[in-house]
Structure 1
Amino acid sequence: MGESRLATIWSLAAAVTILTAGCGQGLLGGGQEGGDQGPIALGMLVPQSGSEAAVGPYMRNAAQFAVDEINGKGGVLGRKLELKVADDACDAQTAVAGAGKLVTEGVVVSVGGYCSGATLPTLPVFGKAGIPMIIPAANSQELVDQHLGHVFLINGTGTQQAAAAMAWITKQGATKVALMHDNTSYSKDIAVRTKKLLDEPGGPETAILEAVTPKESDYSANITNVLGAKPDFVYWTGYFQEGGLITRQLRQAGYKDAIMVGDGSVSGKLAEIAGPEAAEGVYATMTQTPETLQGAGNWIEAYTKKFGSPPGPYSNQSYDAVRLAAEALKNAGSTDGTKVIAALEAINGFPMFSGPLKFTADHTLSAGGFQILVIRSGRFVLQDALK
């Protein structure tokens, strides 16, 4: 994202903050304090439109699943939880508008965030309103590098994903690696961090760092550039729409070596777009999904029964984001943002799908939990589980 565009978006975020500051919360209000005994509102920004809209229902449904479970046990602080969802379309300006809407609706904790480029400009909107953010999916290191006290990530970071990618690339015996990204915060961050690891002596090297324009239909020029560098491993770090096209077009151009994608491409849609033959054997760096979680069978069954379809990527993280928000509210004994942030920082051993939680000083997971998946018969499965 160019500096002028980023400045425009952050200016818009500041304007939204000013407009919403007086709408029931104030700059440090942190939500529904005082005599209000109605529902406690949690806010969730997810893509409900645009190229990444397929992920939105997985996250929204899982969050609602957790809300319903908590409410069935009496709620939090003697009050029911309510989930308020807004569309971010994986677009910065849409996300800022959605964040402002959630602030005016009185949410006390944000439990959303999928695309990092859309999540980044919402940080000041929620921050100025005193609203803690538990981010279930977005994981660009830029989110961490803001050093904002109200921001907590429960997905592995870009640094951790790059390290997992490097380990697998090395294990596969690759010598020249093509890195492809879409210039968004999330995608470029992983590619650049992986390149730094590749540039260290003694291992595989970077063949090319290639940026593509998202939402195109023809990447032949990029494919030509990549194949001209003669890589034996291609790592795409963007989202599934482009990832599927790039995978198909790489194979059509005669590339026969390994392809790997980042966690933003882990969707059955990638295999549909690429086609079954091209997608077969594509690797992915990914944190836990419902299908790769040991002992998650009953949860998957209950989710499927409730929503009529199985959970997908970031369902478990979204479910845990709500549970963590409820735990912090309970421990804080209040909906005040400052108290909830302190409660989140004090979490030690809270059980989540990713394991017992304790945040680092940077409000990230102490371990990224990335694993390697591979496409078999159109589905991403755990590579380590293959015989």
Structure 2
Amino acid sequence: MKSPKIILGVALAAVAATSACGQGVLGGDDEGGDDKGPIVLGMNVPKSGSSAEIGPYMENGAQLAIEEINAKGGVLGRKLQLRAEDDGCDPKMATAAANKLVAAGVKASVGGYCSGATLPTLPVFDKAKIPMVIPAANSTDLVAQKLKHVFLINGTGDQQTTAAMAWLVKSGAKKVAVMHDNTSYAKDIAVRTAAELDKPGGPDKAGIETVNPGESDYSANVTAVLKTSPDFIYWTGYYQEGGLLTRQLRQAGYKGKIMVADGAVDPKIISIAQGENADGLYATMTQMPDTIQGAQNWVAKYKQKFSADPGPYSPQSYDAVRVVAEAMTKAGSTDGAKVVTALEGINGFQIFSGPLKFTPDHRLSEGGFVILVVKDGKFALQDSLK
């Protein structure tokens, strides 16, 4: 896979680009618009629950893009506006939040973190003919339904599995245990990885273990996994449980390697694991703000605006807004059908993971996953998997 590279100036130039007919982001007629007020974009993110740390990263990334675009004149002569709802990474909360956004008249959705909570919102937005550009949620189940309004700009579960297997082989793993929490996203990656481990020629599968999310004591799961004598453990769930499992595995005497999937990549996993227990923790992840080449100016701008560091899925959320703005610009409209056609026609638009072109099933042609590792208390780039 190619290592994701971006230069901020190129990205911003792409946002601000206009055509000779004035149909760029700075101008144009909204043929499908029903008013001349702001174009409202909806965003479901976790603001409560165990994944609440992620919500501000995503919301801030999206807001930064909106303010940059509005400073250049907006889209189709109108300002963009963000409306964010708390989905708590809970399916029922997410469905209610999606219905609120539809009722509020949003023209596109740029949210979605937990796949299990995002899945039930797909038919809500699709029925309302509202395009979704999902920045984080990435279960392969999201594209399996083949809904025309659904697009992903994060690599999917099968692509993450490919990256995980490449690193397991490259790092010399012999016997791998896979652990997950039975949510759509986590199970998708875990089952796919376990199936790959069953194939000859690579590491062996030590076993696959399911845990109950939200608990504080995973000693029974830890004991069960360690009985299989793995030299490598891959956790595919979220950071709260990932941090506890990492800590409890180390406390139980496990000396082998541990890797987590992208849902567990958050600085909080390090504090939950308790410092040195997280040292050397690997992760399959699309690149983080501080590992993207050329993104230093963007990071500085984010820090200046929000007085905080950007985190996981800040760049993807920033890009989700930019992609929607580009599609509306190309469509000359906020009409859902026209925006979907424009999204399908995007070819080479620069986002953080590289030039964008959607596959026929509306996902990235390359997942863009890299391997991160915890060093000195933070995630750093370990391998680009070239």
**SS at structure 2 position matched to 1:383:** strand
Aligned partners of 1:181 and 1:191 also within 8 Å? yes
- For 2:70 and 2:270, locate their aligned partners in 1 and report how far apart those are by CA, in whole Å: 38
Residue 271 and residue 34 in structure 1: after superposition, are their counterparts in 2 closer, same or farther (change >3 A)?
Answer: closer
- For 1:309 and 1:322, locate their aligned partners in 2 and report how far apart those are by CA, in whole Å: 20
- Quick check: 1:326 aligned with 2:325? yes
- For 2:164 and 2:218, locate their aligned partners in 1 and report how far apart those are by CA, in whole Å: 23
**SS at structure 2 position matched to 1:98:** helix
Deviations, residues 163-214 of structure 1 (Å, cap 9, x unaligned): 1000111111111100000000000000001111111111111111000000
- Quick check: 1:287 aligned with 2:286? yes
- Quick check: 1:99 aligned with 2:111? no
**SS at structure 1 position matched to 2:347:** coil
Question: How far 1:380 sits from its partner (Å)?
Answer: 0.5
- For 2:212 and 2:195, locate their aligned partners in 1 and report how far apart those are by CA, in whole Å: 23
Question: How far 1:276 sits from its partner (Å)?
Answer: 1.0
Paired residue for 1:230? 229
Aligned partners of 2:33 and 2:333 also within 8 Å? no
Deviations, residues 16-62 of structure 1 (Å, cap 9, x unaligned): xxxxxxxxxxxxxxx99444100000000000000000000000001
Paired residue for 1:61? 60
Paired residue for 2:335? 336
Paired residue for 2:166? 167
Give the TM-score taking structure 2 as reference length. Answer: 0.91
- For 1:35 and 1:158, locate their aligned partners in 2 and report how far apart those are by CA, in whole Å: 38
- For 2:34 and 2:364, locate their aligned partners in 1 and report how far apart those are by CA, in whole Å: 35
Paired residue for 1:369? 368
Structure with the bigger RCO (C-alpha within 8 Å, sep 6+) is 2
**SS at structure 2 position matched to 1:183:** coil
- For 1:64 and 1:223, locate their aligned partners in 2 and report how far apart those are by CA, in whole Å: 41
- Quick check: 1:357 aligned with 2:374? no
- For 2:357 and 2:383, locate their aligned partners in 1 and report how far apart those are by CA, in whole Å: 26
Q: Which runs of 5+ in 1 are unaligned?
A: 1-30
Aligned partners of 1:139 and 1:158 also within 8 Å? yes
Question: How far 1:377 sits from its partner (Å)?
Answer: 1.7
Question: How far 1:384 sits from its partner (Å)?
Answer: 3.2
Segments ≥4 residues shifted beyond 3 Å? 31-35
Deviations, residues 102-154 of structure 1 (Å, cap 9, x unaligned): 00110010000000000000000000000000000000000011111110000
Q: RMSD in angstroms over aligned alpha carbons? A: 1.1
Give the TM-score taking structure 1 as reference length. Answer: 0.91
- For 2:225 and 2:145, locate their aligned partners in 1 and report how far apart those are by CA, in whole Å: 33
Q: Counterpart of 1:374 in structure 2: which amino acid? A: V
Aligned partners of 1:32 and 1:106 also within 8 Å? no
Aligned partners of 1:240 and 1:270 also within 8 Å? yes
Identity %: 67
- For 2:126 and 2:247, locate their aligned partners in 1 and report how far apart those are by CA, in whole Å: 42
Question: How far 1:378 sits from its partner (Å)?
Answer: 1.4
